[in-house]
């Protein structure tokens, strides 16, 4: 059985959906790539700034509230002041952080890197992601293999795609890793023949 690995390459940070007071409706907010730090006596408040895609209204996602600067790990505060790109990405791609701030998380733009294969081949497919962004596994497979929703469902119902690490392939979402097998039954039948 051939083993193939696909990696998710993110082309954007996670968008979030929130009610925008200026627009008067739920809107998409995108990360500005900047932190806001506010000093209150001896304590700091630190936020990650988001902007409404329609009107540029800002929303601040709380990272720290009333925290002592001395309690932060060495160098972290400096990275907040510098708007360190890796630190921005660490927070902006964290689903739990965003949901904890009352935001509904959208799907980022992404690309699937790895070899395609024929649907007749017996393949163990591992899909990896640096971040747990809750992208539907069905979307990844359908995009990479150019399948319609109907074709994808037919493969599941016929048993030609099976999930090893996630059994429900209709609705499961990619956390950091998922493993699937294509045409396992056919492969066993081939080897069982004398």
What CATH number was assigned to the domain covering residues 116-192?
Answer: 3.10.290
Measured at the alpha carbon of residue 91, what is the angle toward residues 88 and 92, in degrees to the nearest 5? 75
Tell me how crowded residue 30 is: count the other CB atoms within 10 A of its CB: 16
Residues 179, 165: Cα–Cα separation, whole Å? 5
105 Cβ contact list (under 8 Å, min separation 6)? 14, 15, 16, 17, 95, 98, 99, 133, 134
* pLDDT tens, per residue, the chain with 194 residues: 899 999 999 999 999 999 999 999 999 999 999 999 998 878 999 999 999 999 989 999 999 999 999 999 989 999 999 999 999 999 999 999 999 999 999 989 999 999 999 988 999 999 999 998 778 999 999 999 999 999 999 999 998 999 886 678 888 888 889 999 998 754 444 433 44
CATH 3.10.290-classified regions of the chain: 116-192
Residues 63, 46: Cα–Cα separation, whole Å? 5
């Amino acid at each position: 059985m051939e083993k193939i690995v696909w990696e998710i390459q993110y082309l954007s940070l996670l968008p979030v959906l929130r009610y925008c007071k200026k627009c008067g409706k739920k809107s998409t907010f995108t990360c500005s790539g900047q932190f806001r730090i506010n000093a209150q006596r001896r304590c700091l408040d630190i936020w990650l700034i988001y902007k409404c895609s329609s009107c540029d209204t800002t929303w601040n996602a709380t990272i720290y509230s009333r925290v002592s600067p001395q309690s932060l790990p060495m160098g972290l505060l400096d990275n907040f002041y510098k708007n360190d790109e890796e630190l921005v990405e660490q927070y902006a791609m964290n689903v739990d952080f965003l949901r904890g701030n009352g935001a509904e998380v959208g799907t980022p733009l992404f690309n699937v890197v790895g070899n395609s294969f024929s649907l007749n081949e017996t393949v163990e497919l591992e899909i990896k992601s640096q971040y747990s962004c809750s992208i539907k596994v069905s979307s990844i497979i359908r995009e990479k293999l150019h399948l319609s929703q109907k074709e994808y469902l037919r493969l599941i119902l016929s048993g030609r795609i099976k999930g090893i690490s996630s059994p429900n392939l209709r609705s499961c979402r990619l956390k950091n890793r998922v493993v699937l097998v294509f045409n396992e039954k056919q492969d066993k039948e081939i080897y069982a023949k004398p």
